[in-house]
Amino acid sequence: MEEKSASEALVPLFKLERLLNQDQGGRRITLLGSIEDKPALLTAERAAFPSDPQTLEVFHKCLRDVKNLGTNDIYHWYLASVGQNGASSLPDLKLNLISPCTESHIKKYSPQGLRVVTETPEIYKNQVRPYIAKQREQGRLDWVFNIIEGRKEQEDIIFRDPGQDGAKDEAFLLAPDLNWDRKTLTSLHLLALVERRDIWSLRDLKKSHTVWLKHMREKILEATVKKYPTIEKDQLKLYFHYQPTFYHLHIHIVHILLEPTSTQAIGKAFSLENLISQLESLSGGPDAGMADISLTYTLGESHDLWTQVFRPLKEGGKG
């Protein structure tokens, strides 16, 4: 008991010299300092959230100092604290609220198994693309069009590019991803949204788009390091998702130290640089593209494409 008390007494004696490291998206920090004139390291990490029903029932009632960072259609994001009023001026949590949410949202955020699938050009043309078209018809891109058309989040836009020589079909914008807290640079996450509406995913990209993609890459890197001067170009990763969360072409831009998750894993993330190289190496004319090749990627077992397309193909011995 005395040893435990003596150990607990050390923490208040810690004298900070400097921040040594910050990782896991800012959720863990390591401080260099001293205790009684001897070097010491103090690492602080946010504890895991409780999962018992009693605590979860009152969780939202314990939130304090809720500050809205932005709202667009059904999406809202905030900073908040969970301490007592006045206990701390530092936000403890980044909150994302989807209200009202859909069944697709519930499936996306529920734990589920993963499957590796291979999507041939035929499967894409006959089954996946009609599925994508149906998703786009359900109004799920309203929040994207709100940004592009200047109705929402205009104060957050980092950069707008009118396209090379003013070509409207090459215009795009750069803005923070709603999951980023807008402060922790090692967890930086931005989105580049193209303004044209006829390119739904990387499947619509062709050899004729390679010059445009290279232009976007350079402009994205330039704008990002200009906005955040402590970051260098070779500290950024640019990639597409397939299947993406929403079917309007966009590029993810993240800091290389952002904690890797399944969204950056092989089978989900497709590097912009590798995709450009793949397009350039395709045989055929300028209309040859990603729709002409087979893609292997991962799907959650709750995803409609697994339940409606790839599982039936597997069970039928056709895929």
What own/partner pairs with CB < 8 Å and gap ≥ 24 does 226-235 have? 227/158, 227/159, 228/185, 228/188, 230/185, 231/185, 231/188, 231/255
Scanning the chain, the segments in alpha helix (DSSP H) are 2-8, 53-59, 103-109, 121-123, 129-136, 142-148, 210-227, 272-281, 304-305, 311-315
**Phi, psi at residue 172, to the nearest 5°?**
-155, 165
Instruction: Specify the DSSP class assigned to residue 44.
Output: E
Nearest-CA neighbor of 228 among 193, 195, 189?
A: 189
Q: How many CB atoms lie within 10 A of CB 181?
A: 17
CB 47 within 8 A of CB 61: no
250 is catalytic: yes
Cβ neighbours for 22, distance < 8 A, ≥ 6 positions apart = 28, 29, 30, 184, 186
Q: How many CB atoms lie within 10 A of CB 312?
A: 13
Catalytic residue among 189, 250, 255, 303: 250
| Residue 119 C-alpha from the chain's centroid | 23
Tokens 């920090």 appear where? 29
How many angstroms separate the CA atoms of 267 and 232, rounded? 27
Nearest Cα to 149, choosing from 127, 125, 182, 171? 171
Active site amino acids: 250
